[in-house]
Amino acid sequence: MKRELTLLAAAALVLAACGGDDAAIETDNVWARESPAGVTAGAAYFDITANDDDVLIGASVSSDVAGDAQIHEVVPAESMDMGDDMGDDESMDESMEDGEHEMDMGDGEMAMVMQEMTGGLPLPAGETVSLAPGGYHVMLLDLVEPLEIGDEFDLTLDFENADDVTLTVTVAETAPGS
């Protein structure tokens, strides 16, 4: 009887040790901004932490939400090599095809440009990386319909090392907790 209890206790310890690992990827504060009628792009935001060094290499949504999802960052327009004729429609169309989107701040501030992060977003082990307005974000292109407050959709994140993670994104006016 003692031997059976000892074996049972040892087996319980082994099972507890196997199941106690934290998730390889953790996310928090998941949301998307409402998009105005007639706008065909939106953005999703969240905080992400990887237990080991990794790279967020892609994102996807259902085709009933958007045609494409890309990892983007916002950088000053001056840091981009865009040529002198960025203001005309033809150059803007070419820019959009290259994964770049200009943002006119309209208040005398420097113009910002969104660009696709084709190499992925590095996630240093144990550090939280924030995808937030004005910085890194997941760009939703070719929205099927505008994102409205209260809408929810699934966003799947692809990583270089970790398994895919699917988030439920809620459309809101501001980030959760703000």
Is there a domain that residue 2 lies in? no
More confident residue, 139 or 92: 139
Residue 105 included in any domain: yes
Average of per-residue pLDDT values in the chain: 80
Residue 23 is predicted with a pLDDT of 78
Residue 31: closest CA among 21, 49, 50, 44: 44
CA angle 98, 103, 107 (to 5 degrees): 160
Whether the full predicted model's pTM is greater than 0.75, yes or no, is: no
pLDDT tens column, 4-61:
534 444 444 333 344 444 579 999 999 999 999 899 999 999 999 999 999 999 999 9
Q: Look at residue 18 and tell me if it is in a domain.
A: no
Question: If you average pLDDT over residues 62-87, what whole number do you get?
Answer: 77
DSSP strands (E only) in 4-136? 25-33, 41-50, 54-61, 66-76, 100-103, 112-116, 121-123, 128-131
What does the alpha-carbon distance between residue 128 and residue 109 come to, in Å, rounded to a whole number? 28
Burial class (CB in 10 A: 0-12, 13-18, 19+), 54: buried
Bridge partner residues of 138 (DSSP): 44, 71
Using 50, 70 and 90 to split pLDDT, how confident is the model at 82?
very low
> 97: domain range?
24-172
Q: What are 161-177's pLDDT values in tens digits?
A: 999 999 999 999 999 98
Strands 128-131 and 41-50: antiparallel
User: Does any domain span residue 84?
Assistant: yes
- For residue 159, tell me if it sits in a domain: yes
Task: Check: CB of residue 157 under 8 Å from CB of residue 25.
Answer: yes
Is residue 32 in a domain? yes
φ, ψ for residue 130, nearest 5 deg: -100, 125
Residue 153 belongs to some domain of the structure? yes
How much is the average pLDDT of 61-89?
Answer: 75
The one-character DSSP state at 87 is T
pLDDT at 24: 94
Q: Is 99 exposed, middle or buried, given 0-12, 13-18 or 19+ CB atoms closer than 10 A?
A: middle
| pLDDT per position as a tens digit, 104-126 | 545 556 788 999 999 999 999 99
Output 87 or 22, whichever has higher pLDDT.
Answer: 22
Instruction: Give the total number of structural domains in the chain.
Output: 1
Give the DSSP H or E segment for 170.
strand 165-172
SS3 144: coil
Q: What was the pLDDT predicted at 106?
A: 54
DSSP letter (8 states) at residue 21: P
Question: Is residue 65 included in any domain, yes or no?
Answer: yes
Inform me whether the pLDDT recorded for 84 exceeds 50. Answer: no
Q: What is the CATH number of the domain that holds 157?
A: 2.60.40.1890
